[in-house]
Structure 1
């Protein structure tokens, strides 16, 4: 990947120039997922990050991610979803029925870029919101791992050799950008596919996917297309993991370690010229 894919920052600029991310993430017992998603979004350059979370999580999030702000998860009276260039939905969300109106509201009314991850995907599947997903006017990025991809396609499992085929079937079924996570993560749109070359097995740790969601949402908020945000995001995510492996080794690497090395990954991208490949 060539470093010139990154948009230069203007000397005269302010936080509004770099987009707003709404992280619909976290639930009681899973606040950490929201922390990792939000921290990664900030580390990736978003001008403003807000959490839409249950009020009981405010103290945790405002201590762990002081740069972000918190709003009650009330989409009728508090939050105007179209005030945000990107929404990250799903990290630590949980599978409660109370999430159904949240998913429907975002899928039915949002017009920006939506990164649908983890429990966002799981809620779509559990509560059969496929019609809402297909009809959405948002620029949607789905980020399934192999197990989630199998459930989206309603098959028992997907063989690793069929990973690209499965990703293509998901893309065609829902008309979205698809990020098929795993070694050599795939990013697909209708007529493009990118195979990522960064990353290592140390990244197989809880919260790593939440970091990826935050990175992609942040890039989308800064004006990259869904495909470009996903493509750059998986590269940066893997590169941050490779930096961790260089510094502390693969064993014991945490998702927060990855998030904290995202700025260095962006710095290195500026001088990298040929990692990853488009097909």
Structure 2
């Protein structure tokens, strides 16, 4: 395996685009998160709030009906569209055409949800991020990848990656299988771990931020939201993935002296995103 390109602050600043003074919400992008099921509406809250806090102008969450009040109270800034069914997603019907969509956090793997995901993939043309249960559904239905927009971003942790590409006996085999998978399906893989790697066909990037505090429930849901938000703002998929993992890790580096490893939560990632942007832009924090 060739040496990966390191994702450093200097590297990120080559393509980072701070908002212009003349900007408004209508040109900062509209992101959609398709997330949640009964007992897992928190995944929709985390991913939607992260998309908003990434600088996205507008965010709409598509969720089952059971999460409506939770979402409206937890994040009043996010618009909500609900499925006709109460406990899970069964029919994805979006009243808008967004600039990017993230699907998968907490959606479960009910047969009706799987059917809804297939129909959604057949109709969708927007840049796409797939995570969590979306990946688990995909691992059982790999032919569905033919419906992906090119450079769709998949964000597996190692167990989800294994379900997609099969098991491996060494790091070298893991990377080769991931590269082959990326080439075959024209997807970008965010291989979550310590450290996180991004594989885009033959290109390999290694993130340089983050620490063990990120090993906490909901951390991946937040990352999905950040990537979706940056995609909606017009970043190319590879750039959105690189900037997202860098900022995601940076929040934990900034927060660590205050929270310690044990008490850092996924909500803290969102809380510290502003400071991560400021640090990237060389302002005081």
TM-score normalized by structure 1? 0.90
Which 10-residue stretch deviates more, 252-261 or 190-199? 190-199
Choose from 241, 264, 273 the match for 1:253: 264
Equivalent position of 1:231 in the other structure:
242
| 1:124 Cα offset (Å) | 1.4
The answer as to 2:229 corresponding to 1:218 is yes
Of 140, 147, 151, which residue of structure 1 is paired with 2:152? 140
Partner of 1:13: 23
User: Would the aligned equivalents of 1:202 and 1:241 in 2 still touch at CA under 8 Å?
Assistant: yes
- Cα displacement string for residues 99-127 of structure 1 (whole angstroms, at most 9, x for unaligned residues): 1232213322222211000000011123x
Cα distance in 2 for partners of 1:233, 1:158 equals: 29
Structure 2, gaps ≥5 residues long = 1-8, 85-89
Are the equivalent residues in 2 in contact too, given 1:146–1:158 (CA < 8 A)? no
Q: 2:213 is paired with a residue of what secondary structure?
A: helix
**What RMSD in Å do the two structures reach over aligned CA positions?**
2.0
The residue that corresponds to 1:38 in the other structure is 48
Counterpart residue number, 2:196 = 185
Q: 1:175 to 1:92 in 2, by over 3 A?
A: same
- Say how many residue pairs are matched: 268
How far residue 204 of structure 1 moved from its aligned partner, in angstroms, is 0.4
The superposition leaves residues 41-85 of structure 1 with CA deviations (integer Å, 9 ceiling, x where unpaired) of: 11110111111011121100111111101102369794146x111
Change in CA separation of 1:16 and 1:188 when aligned onto 2, cut-off 3 Å: same
Structure 2 equivalent of residue 102 of structure 1: 116
User: What's 2:129 paired with?
Assistant: 115
Q: Does 1:51 align with 2:61?
A: yes
Q: Whole-Å Cα distance in 2 between the matches of residues 158 and 200 of structure 1?
A: 26
Q: Where do residues 159-170 of structure 1 align in structure 2 (5 Å cutoff)? A: 159-160=170-171, 162-170=173-181
User: 2:3 — aligned with what?
Assistant: none
Partner of residue 100 from structure 2, selected from 80, 86, 90: 86
Report SS of the residue matched to 1:21: strand
Report if aligned partners of 1:89, 1:115 keep a CA contact under 8 Å in 2. Answer: yes
Cα–Cα, structure 1 residues 165 and 246, in superposed 2: closer, same or farther, change >3 Å?
farther
1:256 deviation in Å? 0.3
Match for residue 275 of structure 1? Answer: none
Determine the structure 1 residue equivalent to 2:187: 176
Deviation at 1:14, TM superposition (A): 1.4
